[in-house]
Structure 1
Amino acid sequence: MNVLPDCYRTCRELKETFWLQTGPKIPALQDIISAHFGYDCGELTLLDEGAYARAYKASLSTGKKLVVRVVLPVRDGLKTEAEVATMDFVRAETNIPIPRVHLFCSSRNNPIGAEWIVMDFVPGERFIDCWDELSLEARRRTVEDLAGIMSSLYSITSTHCASLISFPSLTNSQRARRFGDHPSLPPTVEGRTSLCPATFGPVNDLCFVERLFPAPFQRCGPFTSEREYLEAVAYANIIETDRRIVKHMRWPHEKVFEVYDRVRAEYAKTVESGLVGETAGLPRFHFSHGDLSDTNILLDKTTGCITGIIDWEAAGFRPAWLAAGKAGMLEDHSHDEEDGDVDGDDENNDDCYCLHRTFFEDPFPVAGSESQEDFLLRSHFLVQLAERDLGLAVHHRYGTELRAIFAALCEVVPASVEAWIEKYRERRWDVIARGKFPFDVENWIRERIALWQRYEIV
């Protein structure tokens, strides 16, 4: 008997199913856009298919170009509300180039039958599509712009780990216009960012909607401690009632937390203790884009200037070491060591792997794997971070191991977490410096196998 739930289908399969069920009426958007702007809107053409949204390009009769983002119904109302509020906030409070949102609907109760956002079209090419064509001078400019954007976001802090829902300080001209009624949202919390008062909502972290099984809102924050947030990352998606299944799914993550507790204590002692204000008083969370990948950064490929940052659906406040580093496909170059693929031949590696080395320090450099240009650009990036915000630079450089642990906590499949634990111990744990690993891995695996056999879990 197989007592595990059927929750390991591919994300692509689930997305296609949800899109078919949603059936958004795209042509109806033309009439809404035309009525809003007072000019005819041309046909909408598919521009990009993201993880949980489809982007369409449209043009008004005046020549003005727009992008329409149709949102998959994963977290009704909340994700769209937070994304639009975040974009309004970032446009008002920073110089980061992002699209202006003109009109949005955060309820499926509209002529389209899905949530949607209408925003300005931002010129530029995706980082991933043009990086190889850039000159060295242009790449240096990209490095500098990216460091500036990261520091601008990181400098905004809060006492809550949460998404942003609203800001009373913004004027009407700074807010996007709403189409339709305000949706019913889960409970929110009134608080402050370092810039202004704000309303916080549950975190829209990508791991909470992994494989389109969204965690219940009440499990997703807002949080006031790092540990609460990480426990939600690990366990919030587990909604089974069968104790055998719960034990099977939780146990590997519980062992990862034993590693986290050791590493986090060392981090506080060796890293945070040298940064003024990091441990004093209430915890501080730092603002993060949440998915700053090389598909969400737009460039002028002639100058290397960043022309736009898009897809803000996962933005919010995160622990300092997380906000300072992991950024989607521009994640730490230690990825291969973390998943055990030290030869770098993982079939999942993307063709732009050099980007990891450029923007994120490699704690395990492999001889001959990095060109002199990569090394110089990465070094320039680290210097740029330090010049703008020393705390950001320190957390970026030394938070690699905690971010690796975070990635393991985000993993859904228990067997994958178990494999990560084995390889982490082999590749990353320094017995001489740290002593014994927090637990006996071989003995624990034997206990896991006994659990499978006892309950016939496969």
Structure 2
Amino acid sequence: MSFLDYVGVDDPWIGVNVDLVALQSIVCQVFRIPTSQCGPPIAIALERHASYARVYSFQLPLRTVVARLVAPVKPLFKTEGEVAAMNFVRSHTSLPVPTVFAYCSESSNPVGTEWLIMEYMSGVELGDAWDQLQYPQKQTFARDLIDVYDQLFRLKADGCGGIYHSTRQMDNLSFARRSPRWQPLSLESLCLLKSHCNHSINNGYELGPLQDISMIDYHLVVPSPSQTMPTFTSEEFFKLVAFNGNPPTRSDFDLPNREKCVELFQSIHRLYPSSTLFGPSEPSNFHFSHGDLHDGNILIDPQSGAITGIIDWETAAFRPLWAQVLGVGWFKEDDQRFIIGSNGPGEFKDDTAPEDIQLRAFFRHHLQKKNPDLFSCFVGGAELRAVLHAAADDPRPVGETDIFLNRYHKLGYWKEGRRGAFPWDMEAWQHRRMDLDAVR
């Protein structure tokens, strides 16, 4: 019996020695100022970012800059993908994304880990400000959030994968001069990128390994870049997430749960034979998404409610549209309308004030008016997203995948009167799960 799911690492920073003095020196070098004109590093919400990044601010004479130190999870690719994503979105939309002044995607530098030096974005985290906002401010945020989804929707590719700067351009001297890369890549790193990022999109960008949040979870086996290469259908994207890479890294104990999630997804997918959003007839194009858009990664002006910054683009990628249009913070409705894991649906029982109902109606109305496809995925994609969430979950005893599958069947979400027989014999599958539990 294989037990590969847990790698026994509680903190990816264990063994990493960060030199903040060296980081301060590099900030001074990038902005060509003496050390005396650069303030000391000040930790920003370190307890919130400590898993995958450590964030510090530096006060300079004319500006404040932010340095993001990157944990050694998916070395090279995660940082290269994050920088390319921010550059791509900044050059193709009007969304407030930080400018990257300099970065290093190799840990063999004086700081001791990969890092980015970026523009400081004003505002406060949405999650910290929401309860203090008045109704008109919440309406402003709702409009801005719809605009974020709409602008990202218009960025398309013919596959699901992370985004990277073209490796062919890296050999170009003029490109190298314009790049914010702090030092040239080593030959080994350049060869790695070239071997994994070779599906051209447009305007100097390529598809490469996917950095989905579920596949950089350091509590599981983190699949290598070669196991997370771009896929070209929703079904293959779903399998990549469910199996934690291709070839799979799931254990023999956990694979049966993932296989049933895939089978359920395939069965739901086939219910929409002519749908370009939810079914197998979807066009071969996918939409750009942040990948981890939650209320800690959106900054707002607490006076107006307007979005002032969108940060942490390390899991940005092209994905199926239904997978990512799920709202943010208070507007994230999936757990109200559907079962997620072992919870829900909440059925909006917390919405007791008339203002709550009005705000949800406001968001839905303006989303449908702005982009009907986004509205359809927001409302109609909840079932597929719930199955994807179950497929990506940790194994038992932490994860709840088998609990979700049992509740999905027991509560009648398959609707056998309209859809026909359930995709598999649930009783036989439950016995198989009990046999595996006994062996373990």
**TM-score (norm. length: structure 2):** 0.87
- Listed as ranges, the gaps of 5+ residues in structure 2 are none
**Contact between 2:227 and 2:246, CA under 8 Å: does it hold in 1?**
no
Alpha-carbon distance, 1:259 to partner:
1.2
Question: 1:338 maps to which residue?
Answer: 340
Question: 2:255 maps to which residue?
Answer: 250
Question: 2:217 maps to which residue?
Answer: 210
1:145-224, aligned counterparts within 5 Å? 145-166=144-165, 176-182=179-185, 183-184=189-190, 185-186=192-193, 187-193=196-202, 196=203, 198-212=205-219, 213-224=221-232
Alpha-carbon distance, 1:431 to partner:
2.8
Counterparts in 2 of 1:249 and 1:308: CA distance versus 1, 3 Å:
same
Looking at structure 2, the residues matched to 305 and 236 of structure 1 have their Cα atoms a distance apart, in angstroms, of 37
Q: Secondary structure at the match of 2:206?
A: strand
Alpha-carbon distance, 1:41 to partner:
1.7
Question: 2:13 maps to which residue?
Answer: 19
Alpha-carbon distance, 1:439 to partner:
1.5
AA matched with 1:67: V
Alpha-carbon distance, 1:341 to partner:
3.0
Looking at structure 2, the residues matched to 163 and 117 of structure 1 have their Cα atoms a distance apart, in angstroms, of 18
Q: Secondary structure at the match of 1:69?
A: strand
User: Which has the larger displacement, 297-306 or 423-432?
Assistant: 423-432
Looking at structure 1, the residues matched to 140 and 248 of structure 2 have their Cα atoms a distance apart, in angstroms, of 49
AA matched with 1:46: A
Alpha-carbon distance, 1:292 to partner:
0.8
Counterparts in 2 of 1:165 and 1:238: CA distance versus 1, 3 Å:
closer
Question: 1:348 maps to which residue?
Answer: none
Alpha-carbon distance, 1:434 to partner:
2.2
CA shift digits 1:57-86 (9 cap, x unpaired): 1111x1410110000010111010110111
CA shift digits 1:262-312 (9 cap, x unpaired): 21112344x53899xx946x5111000111100011011111110000100
CA shift digits 1:321-340 (9 cap, x unpaired): 11323658864332673333
Question: 1:272 maps to which residue?
Answer: 276
Looking at structure 2, the residues matched to 338 and 273 of structure 1 have their Cα atoms a distance apart, in angstroms, of 21
Question: 2:52 maps to which residue?
Answer: 52
AA matched with 1:433: R
**Contact between 2:227 and 2:247, CA under 8 Å: does it hold in 1?**
no
Q: Secondary structure at the match of 1:283?
A: coil
Counterparts in 2 of 1:273 and 1:137: CA distance versus 1, 3 Å:
closer
Question: Which of 221, 233, 243 is matched with 1:225 structurally?
Answer: 233
Q: Secondary structure at the match of 1:311?
A: coil
CA shift digits 1:109-144 (9 cap, x unpaired): 100010000011111010000111111111100000
Question: 1:360 maps to which residue?
Answer: none
Q: Secondary structure at the match of 2:299?
A: strand
- Listed as ranges, the gaps of 5+ residues in structure 1 are 345-363
Q: Secondary structure at the match of 1:20?
A: coil
Q: Secondary structure at the match of 2:18?
A: coil
AA matched with 2:342: G
Looking at structure 1, the residues matched to 344 and 329 of structure 2 have their Cα atoms a distance apart, in angstroms, of 20
**Contact between 1:291 and 1:327, CA under 8 Å: does it hold in 2?**
no
**Contact between 1:101 and 1:176, CA under 8 Å: does it hold in 2?**
no
Counterparts in 2 of 1:327 and 1:207: CA distance versus 1, 3 Å:
farther
Alpha-carbon distance, 1:200 to partner:
1.4
Counterparts in 2 of 1:342 and 1:396: CA distance versus 1, 3 Å:
closer
Question: 1:128 maps to which residue?
Answer: 127
Alpha-carbon distance, 1:319 to partner:
0.6
Question: 2:22 maps to which residue?
Answer: 28
Question: 2:358 maps to which residue?
Answer: 376
Question: 2:267 maps to which residue?
Answer: 262
Alpha-carbon distance, 1:25 to partner:
1.0
**Contact between 2:2 and 2:252, CA under 8 Å: does it hold in 1?**
no
Alpha-carbon distance, 1:365 to partner:
4.1
1:450 equivalenced with 2:435 (yes/no) = yes
CA shift digits 1:184-215 (9 cap, x unpaired): 4341123225xx45211101101111135311
Q: Secondary structure at the match of 1:102?
A: strand
RMSD: 2.9
1:313 equivalenced with 2:297 (yes/no) = no
AA matched with 2:287: H
Counterparts in 2 of 1:6 and 1:136: CA distance versus 1, 3 Å:
closer
1:437 equivalenced with 2:422 (yes/no) = yes
Looking at structure 1, the residues matched to 30 and 393 of structure 2 have their Cα atoms a distance apart, in angstroms, of 43
User: Which has the larger displacement, 197-206 or 382-391?
Assistant: 382-391
Question: 2:409 maps to which residue?
Answer: 425
**Contact between 1:106 and 1:115, CA under 8 Å: does it hold in 2?**
yes
AA matched with 1:405: V
Question: 1:355 maps to which residue?
Answer: none
**Contact between 2:331 and 2:360, CA under 8 Å: does it hold in 1?**
no
How many residue pairs get aligned? The number is 419
Counterparts in 2 of 1:240 and 1:93: CA distance versus 1, 3 Å:
closer
Counterparts in 2 of 1:163 and 1:294: CA distance versus 1, 3 Å:
same
Alpha-carbon distance, 1:412 to partner:
2.4
User: Which has the larger displacement, 401-410 or 418-427?
Assistant: 418-427
**Contact between 1:142 and 1:306, CA under 8 Å: does it hold in 2?**
yes
Looking at structure 2, the residues matched to 316 and 329 of structure 1 have their Cα atoms a distance apart, in angstroms, of 24
AA matched with 1:388: K
AA matched with 2:335: S
Looking at structure 1, the residues matched to 180 and 340 of structure 2 have their Cα atoms a distance apart, in angstroms, of 44
AA matched with 2:301: D
- Percent identity reads 28
Question: 2:112 maps to which residue?
Answer: 113
Counterparts in 2 of 1:267 and 1:370: CA distance versus 1, 3 Å:
farther
Counterparts in 2 of 1:326 and 1:418: CA distance versus 1, 3 Å:
farther
Question: 1:42 maps to which residue?
Answer: 39
Counterparts in 2 of 1:284 and 1:328: CA distance versus 1, 3 Å:
farther
Looking at structure 2, the residues matched to 291 and 239 of structure 1 have their Cα atoms a distance apart, in angstroms, of 24
